[in-house]
A and B are shown apart, each in its own frame.
Chain A
């Protein structure tokens, strides 16, 4: 299983911008949707996605696969995602290095993992199962996190390097998440991008965050801040063809604001292209 070679700049498809994408020519190379919003039987959301797909490549980005669940993956979830994959023929299918599922429970949040050999074996087993069920290689996204575990035996970037090596998966590198976790846990984000296998990165997320009382919170409710742009520029010096997008989920501004941010991403990526 391999990835398509794709390079471009895109946006997340969000309700306030549906009409923009359906009625006009939005200057993006791809769009990303939240998979779970479209893992439904039918109706307007699926019809809109089909019409958008006729105009743009679509990346499916999930939040509920629960790759790190000790309970394993939900077969109903995988079946529904496979049906959506078959209907949309997406550019990429991604989810997070996190867990949300426990027996009789689903947190609906991206919960952190201890980076242990036990967790590594489990994530790889779950990822193998998911890739087999979906018939394609997935991208795994680095999470933002608010706690660490004393029992961790490796760093997050070492863990991700092992996951990619053992499963063949690619990476969705969320630059904002690196920044948020670096500030929260006191590591150098440059160590992260030096240690994570950048040759496996196929997609990049850019987003904003909020300063909480003690921690940075990954809120996706404001523009990409300077520190994230700076880290993005460093990443772009070292990655191959990649799909870059602005991820905005709250306080969603007019589409023109997000397109302006996307122009910023293009400008920062340009020196690499020109070279």
Chain B
């Protein structure tokens, strides 16, 4: 048997654990094969438990482990990085619990925070830099770790309560979906639900937008006085959050 064929047989054993797959090996290999399969499944389960600790706490270990085990059966890992394996699990949770919107969204938020935690470094615009900025020409962008989520449930409130060891609120659907900005400030991954008007301009900062264009858009939508006031207020907030990339 070629090495390639042997490795395919080993893969089939790990993924299926079937008698047929085991029969391709010598009978005296059975105890060792069980060790390898246990290692394989435990590593993936531990990855999901660690990556989605708050989702696990929210739905409880029995349901979490049942969905995780089915996911491990259905979706063997492809990448060398276990971080990549975790990325598919929020969707699996959403599909397994379609009536519990907050579960998949809680996992999506956890995954986004993890991505931000290990995302690219990039200097943030500091308050002290603001007076030197040419605001007519300045192109504003979020820091490289920034990502926008659109959530229909109160998953952010559940996450915050679990993080603070408080009793989480009952699950709820929001009247309107909310945009949540996820980013890393220094070494801390953060998120914040955006105001509806703020959420309208936030996507433009993913690709970069001049402050002038942002002001013009807000003036069009809210009138000159309120538009300029909103732009100034949000700029101050974004700088304080460390969410804007240095110019």
* Distance in Å: Cβ of A75 to nearest Cβ of chain B: 11
Q: Assess whether A109 is in contact with B120, with CB atoms less than 8 Å apart.
A: no
CB <8 Å contact, A42 and B118: yes
A214 interface residue (CB < 8 Å to B): yes
Tell me whether A111 and B79 are in contact (CB under 8 A).
no
Which secondary structure characterizes the binding site on chain B? helix
Q: Is B43 an interface residue (CB 8 A)?
A: yes
CB of B7 closer than 8 Å to a CB of A? yes
- Identify which of residues 142-182 in chain A touch chain B, using a CB-to-CB cut-off of 8 Å: 145-147, 149-151
CB-nearest residue of chain B relative to A70?
Answer: B4
Q: B54 at the A/B interface (Cβ < 8 Å)?
A: no
B44, CB-defined interface residue at 8 Å: yes
B77 at the interface (CB under 8 A from A): yes
Are B31 and A70 within 8 A (Cβ)? no
The reply on A118 being an interface residue by CB < 8 A is: yes
Q: Which residues of chain A are within 8 angstroms of B26 by Cβ–Cβ distance?
A: 150
**CB-CB nearest in chain A for B76:** A105
Tell me, rounded to whole Å, the shortest Cβ–Cβ distance linking B220 to chain A.
37
Contact yes or no, B117 A146, CB < 8 A: no
The contact string, 1 if C-beta is below 8 Å from chain B, for chain A 206-220, is: 000000111101000
Given contact pairs A36-B80, A70-B2, A101-B80, A109 touches B121 in the complex (Cβ within 8 A)? no
What residues of B have a CB within 8 angstroms of the CB of A107 in the complex? 10-11, 14, 40, 77
- Tell me the bound Cα distance from A66 to B120 in angstroms: 26
CB-defined contacts of A212 to chain B, threshold 8 Å: 35
Distance of A105 Cα from B117 Cα, bound (Å): 26
A7 interface residue per 8 A CB criterion: no
Check if A118 sits within 8 Å of B2, measured CB to CB: yes
Task: Assess whether B80 is in contact with A77, with CB atoms less than 8 Å apart.
Answer: yes
A105 to B14, CA, bound (A): 10
Task: From A39, A42, A151, name the one whose CB has the most chain B CB atoms within 10 angstroms.
Answer: A42
Whether A43 pairs with B121 at a CB distance below 8 angstroms is: yes
Residues of B in contact (CB 8 Å), total 43
| Residue of chain A at shortest CB distance from B47 | A108
Interface presence of A114 (CB below 8 A) = yes
A45 with B118: CB separation less than 8 A: yes
Q: Does B138 contact A (CB under 8 A)?
A: no
The answer to whether B1 has its CB under 8 Å from any CB of chain A is: yes
User: Within 8 Å of chain A (Cβ to Cβ): is B150?
Assistant: no
Interface residues of A in 51-89 (CB under 8 A from B): 64, 66, 68-71, 74, 76-77
Contact, CB under 8 Å: A106 / B80: yes
> In whole angstroms, what is the CA distance A42 to B120 when docked?
5
Known: A70-B4, A109-B39, A119-B3. A147 touches B25 (CB 8 A): yes
**Complex: how many Å from CA A36 to CA B82?**
9
Instruction: Evaluate contact between A69 and B7: CB separation under 8 angstroms.
Output: yes
A28 contacts chain B at the CB level, 8 A cutoff: no
Question: Is A122 in the interface zone, CB < 8 Å from B?
Answer: yes
B47: chain A residues within 8 A (beta carbon): 108
A40 within 8 A of B: yes
In the complex, A47 has a CB within 8 A of chain B = yes
Chain A nearest Cβ from B232, distance in angstroms: 31
**A residues in contact with B8, CB < 8 Å:** 102-103
Chain A min CB distance to B132 (Å): 26
CB distance from A206 to the nearest CB of B (A): 21
B184 CB within 8 Å of chain A: yes
Q: Which residues does chain B contribute within 8 Å of A44, judged by CB atoms?
A: 117, 187
Q: Are B35 and A215 in contact (CB under 8 A)?
A: yes
Within 8 A of A (CB), among B213-244: none
Task: List 10 A–B pairs whose Cβ atoms lie within 8 Å, in order of A's numbering.
Answer: A40-B118, A42-B118, A43-B145, A43-B184, A100-B80, A104-B76, A108-B85, A146-B31, A147-B33, A151-B1
| New A-B pairs, 17, CB < 8 Å, besides A106-B78, A108-B40 | A41-B119, A41-B120, A42-B121, A70-B3, A76-B80, A100-B80, A104-B76, A105-B11, A106-B79, A107-B10, A109-B39, A111-B10, A146-B32, A146-B33, A147-B33, A150-B26, A151-B1
The chain B residues found within 8 Å of chain A, CB to CB, are 1-4, 6-8, 10-11, 14-15, 25-26, 29, 31-33, 35-36, 39-40, 43-44, 47, 76-83, 85, 116-122, 145, 184, 187
